[in-house]
Amino acid sequence: MTGELPVSALKRDAGLDDRTAGAALAGASALSIVAMAHHPTGFGHSVLAQIVHAAMIVFVVLAFAGYTRLAARRGLQRFDILLALVVYGAGAIANVLAATINGFVVGAVVANDASADILRLCWALNQMLAYGAVYATSIAFLIWGADLVRERGLRRIVGLVGLAAGIAPALMLLTGALAMNVAGAFVVYALQAAFGVLVGADLIRTGRDPASPPAGG
């Protein structure tokens, strides 16, 4: 007895991991848009703001786990894939911090009758983090999209969507066509969610169909 799992068990576990990661990524991406649709406007301490931002933090973490599975499938030994994951992780941290400020810090500040200067500081920090997160995510999507688009079939379409989801949000922010207010963020996150849903669906398909080529090629 060597204590090693049989090859069939390893394949079965890999398929389950792909399906789980894919469902987490696709679900978190879709639900993030639902959460954004309920995002309150203006400053203030509200239960709705806390629920929305807490949900967004959860979705960011789940999406990060899903994209980590994608990166593992594409090959973490490849520097470009690893770089994309690290950059995406930096963007995820920025998103979590931005959501924490808007959802919890601002409410506490308002409840304690803080000055307008403190509120402006909170808004400035939120915006810097939100913009940085978009640019970091765009870089990651461009790298993953460029990798996926070299394949054939449905995965090439996923890659094209990744390229679009990488270019369009960053370009709209850079040109001033959009700002990271509630309306602008909804558009940006919807574009990013489209890639997440497709990547998640591809991971699920890979996990379900043993005859399907793995997400790594």
The 3-class secondary structure across the chain, one letter per residue, is: CCCCCCHHHHHHHHHHHHHHHHHHHHHHHHHHHHHHHCCCCCCCCCHHHHHHHHHHHHHHHHHHHHHHHHHHHHCCCCHHHHHHHHHHHHHHHHHHHHHHHHHHHHHHHHHCCCCHHHHHHHHHHHHHHHHHHHHHHHHHHHHHHHHHCCCCCHHHHHHHHHHHHHHHHHHHHHHCCCCCCHHHHHHHHHHHHHHHHHHHHHHHHHHHCCCCCCCCC
Neighbours of 160 (CB within 10 A): 15
pLDDT at residue 45, rounded to an integer: 57
- Domain extent listing, the chain: 10-208
Look at residue 1 and tell me whether its pLDDT is greater than 60: no
Number of C-alpha atoms within 13 angstroms, CB side, residue 186? Answer: 11
pLDDT at residue 9, rounded to an integer: 45
pLDDT at residue 14, rounded to an integer: 75
Task: Kindly state the tokens that stand for 134.
Answer: 């978009």
The single-letter code of the amino acid at 129 is L
Residue 132 CA to residue 138 CA, distance in Å, equals 10
pLDDT at residue 115, rounded to an integer: 86
Q: Which residue has the higher pLDDT, 108 or 134?
A: 134
pLDDT at residue 10, rounded to an integer: 45
pLDDT at residue 5, rounded to an integer: 42
- Taking only the tens place, the pLDDT of each residue in 29-66 is 999 999 999 888 765 557 888 999 999 999 999 999 99
Counting residues of the chain whose pLDDT is more than 90, the rounded percentage is: 76
- Taking only the tens place, the pLDDT of each residue in 115-168 is 889 999 999 999 999 999 999 999 999 999 999 999 989 999 999 999 999 999
Q: What is the pTM of this model?
A: 0.88
pLDDT at residue 31, rounded to an integer: 97
Residue 56 CA to residue 43 CA, distance in Å, equals 18
- Taking only the tens place, the pLDDT of each residue in 159-201 is 999 999 999 999 999 999 999 999 999 999 999 999 999 999 9
